Amino acid sequence: MSQMPTQEKWKFSPIPNIEESNFNKSLERFHDMGVSGLVRENIQNSLDGRLLNYDGPVVLKIEVGTIHKENIPGIKEVKNRILKLEGRNNYTKETISHMKNRLDQNEVRYISFEDINTRGLTGARNGQSGSKKDTWGIYAYNKGVHFEEDSVDVEVSRGGSHGVGKIASNAASDFHVMYFANCDANGDQHLGGTVQLIEHVHNGQAYRSTGYFTKVQQEENGNTKFYPYENTFHKVFTKNTRGLKIVIPYLREEYDDEKEIIKSICDSFFISILKDKLQVHVNEKEINKDTILQYVKDQDYYNQDIKEAKKEFTPLYIDTYLGMPAKEITVSNGEKDFSFQLYFRYDERIPRGRVAVVRTIGMKIEDFKVTGNATKPYNAVLIGGPNEDAYLKSLENESHTQLSKDHFSDKKLKRLATRFINNLSMEIAKVIKEAINENNPTDGLIDTQDILYVVETQFKKDLETSMGTVKINQGKSLVKSTTRQSQKEKRGPKENTSKDSGKTTAIRKRDPLKKQKSNENINDNTEGKERYSVHPDMVERIILNNEEMIKFNFTKSDQLAGENACNISFSIIDGMGVEYSDEFQIQNSYQGIVDMKAGETCSYKKNVIKNVQIKDGIALLQLKLRKSFNRSLKFVYYVEV
């Protein structure tokens, strides 16, 4: 690393030329997670840094406020760099434009996270030492590096492991900038920071994308080394008690929401709070073991109608955890058995069954869906011990929001992870089945053969008359399309006679695209677009090996006449015709999507494929399947124009 100008507070490493023109991919991932991702990562870091041999709660103070731009250290240098950024694709151009639109702000919104009863970072005076003992150097200057505790028990209980969570704070800033103030065991106070841009040219020199708020010094061996600044900056950045304080200026507007911050705390850390391992202050409000129910049971924060618990399950989890006895279940990965405490509740009013999988640190990993039981009326909380914690930690994805096998490169570990996740579903499914049988006893045995035959025959008839042709695998028809005329069709169209005019007019044939009302699937609708459900007769679907082809024939629809592009969304439908509009995520089933009419790769988000081309009334998609794709899934499709 060559000598850098010492008068600049922000340091970027020079490079020969620009090779990478994209922003760090983790920024977009954490930005999509929004407030919950930001709150989750910073609270988890505070819990990880708790004082050893201390049984009291970690205290976290979250403050949202306003600061004048002149009081933000070195921010003029960051602005000068932003002015030099050049986008080379649509995403970077849009992001840079968004940054530049915020340059003229004088009063700047910020959020800070200050923890108490924590260790803080060590070895700040050693700067960029490279030592595993100096956590300042790891946190401040290394991306993708996770500090490991000397104690195995302490390490397995920690939330972090991938070393990418720090960037969640950068993602919350319009400028991708964050600062961290530290006070260590000796009372030493320092301030550091990072900014995530793209590789750029500044004053004729090319630089890397990441900048560090730090000093640089020449060493005796001729190399340069980073050292932190003594913290003598504005009071917003002050940290004078042991621990760490994160400050994020230029807070994105969508993060500036006190209610969502409080809900994110309750959603992810309700067990930590109930066990008095965590207390959180949000501005003037405090969430602790005595006050958490005030928020969770408040209609202004959570819908209190059990029958409407379809996306938010925290009120149910807390009732289950506090009100139900724990039962032990054993889950194997094929090589080792793991024992968990399962707090289980059966209630016919519950519309969606979910299991809160919780680490011993008190952090919820995910709302686990038990295979084949996502719509059963139950709620559960699953917690293990140290051994279970260590294994769950290895299964977490990098954002700590899902148990997954996908991040394993070792085939054996991936196989064991798959077996464990499948067995977890199977063991909880047994508990669910037992509860259903207990709550729905039968009055003796009956012969159901005739009943099943009648039901199956009627179901086939209903299916044939209501669905079009859907082809799978070898081109065989899954549902035979009927061409039989109904009595109405035989009679022909009705005639409508107007008394006033005396004219006879045939009723217009109904368009096969049905317009959706504004409140139907509103979460999936794109603002400003009309949304229509697609009749099954308009869709042909075929799966061959690891690819799927879907053809949409819009030639008989007047609604799409003249349209040359549309959005297409997927919605799962079960065997009883019940639709689950928020259950399907494209990225979990498909690796990529090609628009065959345009000859280009399609972009998509959640369950919506964007900007699909229509030529001569036909849209044609080629989708590459993931190994996890469920080939028995049935869909209802929607088109937006």
pLDDT tens digits for range 162-201: 345 678 999 999 999 999 999 999 999 999 999 999 999 9
State residue 177's pLDDT score: 97
State residue 123's pLDDT score: 92
Average pLDDT over residues 501-524: 52
State residue 3's pLDDT score: 43
pLDDT-derived band at 546, boundaries 50, 70, 90: confident
**Least confident span in 23-32, 275-284, 510-519:** 510-519
pLDDT-derived band at 157, boundaries 50, 70, 90: very low
pLDDT tens digits along 378-403: 999 999 998 998 888 888 876 557 78
- Round the average pLDDT of the chain to a whole number and report it: 83
User: Which residue carries 């490079």 as its tokens?
Assistant: 15
Residue 463's H or E segment, with its range, is helix 449-466
CA 261 from chain center: how many Å?
16
For the chain, what is the radius of gyration of the CA atoms? Answer: 29
Q: Are 468 and 479 in contact (CB under 8 A)?
A: yes
Neighbouring CB atoms inside 10 A of 426's CB total 13
More confident residue, 489 or 406: 406
State residue 581's pLDDT score: 76
pLDDT-derived band at 147, boundaries 50, 70, 90: very low
Task: Map out the domains of the chain with their CATH numbers.
Answer: 22-196+233-256 (no CATH), 257-302 (no CATH), 305-439 (no CATH), 513-640 (2.60.40)
pLDDT-derived band at 556, boundaries 50, 70, 90: confident
State residue 153's pLDDT score: 42
pLDDT tens digits along 213-239: 999 988 777 788 899 999 999 999 999
Report DSSP letters for 535-578, one per residue. Answer: PGGGEEEEEETTEEEEEEE-TT-STTTT--EEEEEEEEE-TTS-
State residue 245's pLDDT score: 97
pLDDT tens digits along 565-585: 999 999 888 767 778 877 788
Average pLDDT over residues 537-544: 88
Average pLDDT over residues 348-356: 95
State residue 536's pLDDT score: 87
Using DSSP's 3-state secondary structure scheme, residue 489 falls into helix
Residue 271's H or E segment, with its range, is helix 258-274
State residue 353's pLDDT score: 96
More confident residue, 529 or 50: 50
User: Which residue carries 């020449």 as its tokens?
Assistant: 218
pLDDT tens digits along 407-446: 778 889 989 999 999 999 999 999 999 999 998 875 555 4
State residue 358's pLDDT score: 94
pLDDT tens digits along 52-69: 888 899 999 999 999 999
Q: Are 615 and 597 in contact (CB under 8 A)?
A: yes
Average pLDDT over residues 97-106: 94
pLDDT-derived band at 489, boundaries 50, 70, 90: very low
Q: Strand 224-227 vs strand 531-534: parallel, antiparallel, or unpaired?
A: unpaired
**Least confident span in 69-73, 344-348, 528-532, 599-603:** 528-532
pLDDT above 80: residue 96: yes
